[in-house]
Amino acid sequence: MKTNPLIPSSLVLVALSTLAASANTDSKHKNQIIQIQTNEFGEEVRAALNDLGEAGSTNAPLPILYGDATFELWSINTETAEQKLLDTTVVNGFYSPEVVVITPDPNDTPTNPRTRVDKGYSVQIDGISPAYHSAAATQLTLLYNKEPYPADTFAHPSAYTTDYADATDVSSALSTMMASPASFSSGFVSDDWEQVAGTETFSIWNPATDSASATMADSHSVQVWPVANAYFESSAGIEGGETYRQFDPIKINIDNLYAKDNWSVEIIDPNNNATQILGGTVIGDAPQSRQVRISNLGKYLGESGQYTLRVTQQAEGLDPEPVEHIGVTFTYDRRIVVNAQIGTSE
């Protein structure tokens, strides 16, 4: 996790309701809160909030730079100057915004998350203690970039940089994302899912000040893969609803197989039993293709009847069941027809 010791004091909010419940409220007393913490040199520093009301909330007098801060509620007698400690609370002081991307792929890594365009993912903002959530949601900015790869590639060019000026502001989701992961559908969903290739980047920004522009606290990208497809090569397939006695060679192309994807070409017989013709598992860092050539489909068929040639794939973690991409039902007739003539002689 990144460290950012310079926490803007405007983000350090201290809830006083617990302390104020014990505060004195008569006219002879006034309430004071003392903030006690350690600086970068290990020295104890203190700051006070004076003349507080019965209840409410306000900014802490100091940003919490290192570790925790202790807040003490004191009652001061205005006539005798007697001081009495009423309550104490400790606020955890971590503030290091971090973008975390969670995908359904069990084989990706936190540094290189990936998913398929039809499956989506979740995003969470970590590294901000609950005491800062409310203020952070109003002052931080969360940006989203959709970044397609160049045509016919599966990577950004080596000199590529994210154009944050072209980003979409999604800061309205910050409150939700600091509490729990928020679900996102891929921004590529309006495109051709079989042609998608690119990344989607989330970046979180600290607010600008009078002397400096906004600074990026963290960013994270998720790689988006296309959806698999399968098809017969031209003039090398079979037609649904047709009757066949013999078969020409069949060629099937399977494209855009996922990072870990099981694929299968099989025959379903008239009794609904499946026989695999060919299958396998692909593992890789880019979409892969397979071509299957069936020289004689008839050798995988039994008696005459209705059969289905089926092509499926199932990406690990993404597809609960095999996804059918080709399902062609046809009739196989293996009866032998003999043409003969019967002649007579007298």
CA–CA dist 147, 221 (Å, integer): 10
**Which candidate, 138, 146, 201, 199, places its Cα nearest to that of 171?**
138
Residue 345 has what pLDDT?
60
Query: Comparing 21-30, 44-53, 67-76, 90-99, which segment has the lowest mean pLDDT?
Result: 21-30
Q: What is the pLDDT of residues 260-283, one digit of tens each?
A: 999 999 999 999 999 999 999 999
Highest mean pLDDT of the ranges 130-144, 227-241, 306-320: 306-320
pLDDT band at 337; cut points 50, 70, 90: low
Segment 48-60 shows an average pLDDT of 76
Residue 290 has what pLDDT?
97
**Which candidate, 58, 64, 49, 56, places its Cα nearest to that of 21?**
56
CA–CA dist 151, 289 (Å, integer): 17
Residue 2 has what pLDDT?
33
**Which candidate, 203, 227, 219, 210, places its Cα nearest to that of 315?**
227
Q: Burial letters for 270-292: b for 16+ Cβ neighbours within 10 Å, e otherwise? A: eeeeeeebeeeebeeeebbebeb
Q: What percent of the chain has pLDDT over 70?
A: 85
Residue 64 has what pLDDT?
67
Tokens encoding 264: 């299968």
At position 80, the amino acid (one-letter code) is T
Segment 144-156 shows an average pLDDT of 94
Does pLDDT of 63 surpass 80? no
